[in-house]
Each structure stands twice: as structure tokens, then as C-alpha cells.
Amino acid sequence: MKRSKLLVIGAIIGFFIGIVTVSLMAYSSVNNSTVSNSEAVSERMSYYPNTETLGPNEMRVVACGTGMPTARPKQAASSWLVELGNGEKFLFDVGTGSAERISALQIPYNHLDKVFLSHLHTDHFGDVDALFVGGALMGRQKPLRVWGPSGDTPERGTKYALDHLTKALTWDLVGRQGITDPRGYFLEAYEFDYKAVNKIIYEENGVTIRSFPAVHSLDGPVSFSLEWNGLKFVFGGDTFPNKWFDEYAKGADLAIHECFIPVPAMIEKFKFSPQSALPVATQIHTAPEAFGKVMSMIKPRMAVAYHFFNDFDIQPDLNDRIRSTYDGPLSLATDFMVWNITKDKITTRMAIVDEDIWPPAATDKPQVPDASIRVPYSKFINDGKLDMYDVIQPIYDEINEKYGLNEKQD
């Protein structure tokens, strides 16, 4: 009896091992070949970065941050990547934690040089420094360009914030002089008037990006629309429902609008007092019922709700509240959700990413740094170095021989 039970158990284990093996073989076969997007979307339930080529008339949007101001591993703060079939790529917000998500997509950093900030809360621009410095280290060989709104005073605007961010990074940037390719360590700020209504702030290569005012926290926040090849993407940033979004988000193929955590969850999960939860979740942010009403007004091809913790015990209530005012196509966003958009179809999937990634190859040959501009150690620090010449010289000898160089130790 015992032996027969063991045989049955062994057979069951063998059956499941076989299924896993076949699945892994299928994954490996798919993941190691690049296929056209029309084939990929029709055949794959998931998106594997670097394995699908966008069609010439196709847009892909990847959620690189969908969470709340408080950091957690499951969801980074606000960040959205838009990729177009003409090769252009744009980042809308780079909130805290999102640089990790962006890196997981394995896109050469020379293609990630255009950022559009909806406003200056850290959950929307808190990883600009990581993308700026880290991107330069990982192969962005051009300045990082950042577009963002002015404020009602100069010190509340994007230029002020980025100028002072660069100053805060002085030690970091000076410490890299003469050691790495220098071309990526420049930050260019393009500040525009937050009061401008549907103003064009970017127009290149057939892509038009406009801004319009949003209502959130202070004067200054904006929403964006991106139009290309007959497709329209709209990103609301953070905002209370407003007349500008109602007018300029109409006709969107994908409309992303914040949908904050319901008030009861704010009280129960975040331990807010009712007196704080009510204004934060319904006035500074957009309540689920209000999100649904907005989407019923603008009628996008796909509505995307974000800015909540997408947990098993939060999602049902949030969904029911949205559905009380909206019955159209809906995505409740979480990190690494992907939308492929054409004029005929919108496909929603999840990205499968590798957590053990290394930086992708740069698109251009690295520039040799100018060692003469290095800032030297002081005599005090230099005198503290131990003599490692005998163990380090063989490393120099190996690299010099392999690459035909004549590099010398300091």
C-alpha cells in the first residue's frame, strides 16, 4: 500500500515537473527571439521587454509607477512610459522608486532623455536624480531633458526645483569628472506656463504634446496630452476633476486619471482621522466615484485608474465605486501593466521582467574621459591610502594587454 502511494505521488510530481519544463521551454523560445508585434500581441498573454517590435502605427504604454506617496516594493510612485512606432519614447513623471521599473524594461538610456513632469510632489519627480545620474552612468550620452510647469512664484516652478537638485548633486557630479563619459551629466529644464490651456510644449518627429491646468494642492500642476499618427494619450497627473480635462481628454485612446484610495481605507489602512481623510481623498485627489463620472463624460477607448494601492482587499470596493458612475472600458493600474494601442485594438497585459538585469548597451561608442579634469584627493586623504600597487598592477597589465592600452595607476 505504501509503495503504491509513493508511485502515485511520484507520478503526480513527474506530471507537474513536465508541465513546468514545457512552460519554461516555451518561455525560453519566446523570450530569446524578436517577433513582430502583431504576432506577439495575438499569441502572448504577457509582455517580455526587448522581444517585440512596435508596428509603425502602434503605441505602447507601460506603467512604471502607479502607487501612492508612501513607498512600498509592490508599487512605485507615478511614472508612465510611452513608446511609439516611430522609435520615440517619453516618460511622464518619474516618481519615487520608478527608476527601478524603468531599468527593468532594458531600454538603452539614450532613448530615455525626455521627461514630462505633471507637478513637483516627490511621488511624481522624486527619482529624477536617479534617472539623471544613473542614466548617464548606464549609457545616456546626452543631456536629460525635462519639461515641467511654472509655479505661482518662481521658487515653486520646475526650473527652480531642477536647478537646486543639480546643486544638491554637486558632490556626486564633481566626483565623476574625468572618470566616466561626461556627456550625460547635464540636466536641461524646459519650464512652461502652468496656466496655458492646451498649449503645445513639444512638437518633433510627428509628435505633439500639449499641457493644460490641473487642480491639486497648489497652483502649478498640469495634465498632458500626446498625439501621434491619429492616436491620443492623456495623462492627468494628480488632479481634482476639472473643466480642462473634460474638454481636452475627449477622444483619448488611453486616458490616465488619478483615482485615490476610498475614504474608509484611508481611515482604516493609513490611520488618517476622518477629518483628514475626507479632504485628502476627495478634494486634493479624485475619489473613485468622481473618477467614474469623469470617464463617463470624456468616454475614452480605455480608462486607466491609478494612484491607489492595488490590493485584493482594496480593489473590489474601489471598482464598485467607479462602476457606480462609469460602465466603459477600464484598467485598474498596477506596476508593469502594459497597453498596446492601434486604431483597431487596445490590448492590456502585464510585463514579465528580469530582476537581475544589467544596463543595456549604449547606442553610441563611449567617450573616453579626460583624466586631467579629475578633482584630486587632498594630501590628508591621499596619505591615508594603503600601498596596493603589487596587487593592482596585474589588473592594469591584463587590461592593457587585452585592449592595447597603456593605462597607469594613479
| Residue 4 covered by a domain | no
- The per-residue pLDDT for range 346-405, each reduced to its tens digit, is 999 999 999 999 999 999 999 999 999 999 999 999 999 999 999 999 999 999 999 999
The total domain count for the chain is 2
Q: In this structure, are residues 211 and 226 in contact, taking their beta carbons and an 8 Å threshold? A: no
Among 307, 332, 351, the domain boundary falls at 351
Report pLDDT for 9: 44
**Is 91 inside a domain boundary?**
yes
> Which cell is 375 given?
578633482
Alpha helices, DSSP H, located in 1-145: 2-31, 37-43, 98-104, 122-125, 128-129, 135-137
Q: Are residues 155 and 205 in the same domain?
A: yes
Question: Which residue in the block uniquely carries the three cell numbers 515537473?
Answer: 17
- Please state, rounded to an integer, the average pLDDT across all residues of the chain: 91
| Full residue range of the structural domain in which residue 149 is found | 36-351
| pLDDT tens digits for range 72-110 | 999 999 999 999 999 999 999 999 999 999 999 999 999
> Is residue 22 in some structural domain?
no
- Residue 56 is placed in which grid cell? 509603425
Same domain, 334 and 383: no
pLDDT confidence of residue 15? 42
Per the domain annotation, does 172 fall within a domain? yes
CB 322 within 8 A of CB 292: yes
Residue 365 lies in a domain: no
pLDDT at 398: 96
Q: Are 145 and 247 contained in the same domain? A: yes
| Residue 250: half-sphere exposure toward Cβ, Cα within 13 Å | 8
Q: Are residues 174 and 119 in the same domain?
A: yes
Q: What confidence score (pLDDT) does residue 38 get?
A: 52
Task: Answer yes or no: is 25 within a domain.
Answer: no
> Do 398 and 315 fall within a single domain?
no
Same domain, 294 and 220: yes
**pLDDT tens figures, 31-41:** 333 445 555 45
pLDDT tens figures, 192-217: 999 999 999 999 999 999 999 999 99
Instruction: Tell me what pLDDT residue 44 has.
Output: 79
Same domain? For 108 and 244 the reply is yes
C-alpha–C-alpha distance, residues 42 and 68, integer Å: 33
Residues 341 and 395 in one domain: no
Report the pLDDT value the prediction gives residue 39, as an integer from 0 to 100: 53
Q: With bands split at pLDDT 50, 70 and 90, how would you rate the model's confidence at 14?
A: very low
Are 276 and 390 members of one domain? no
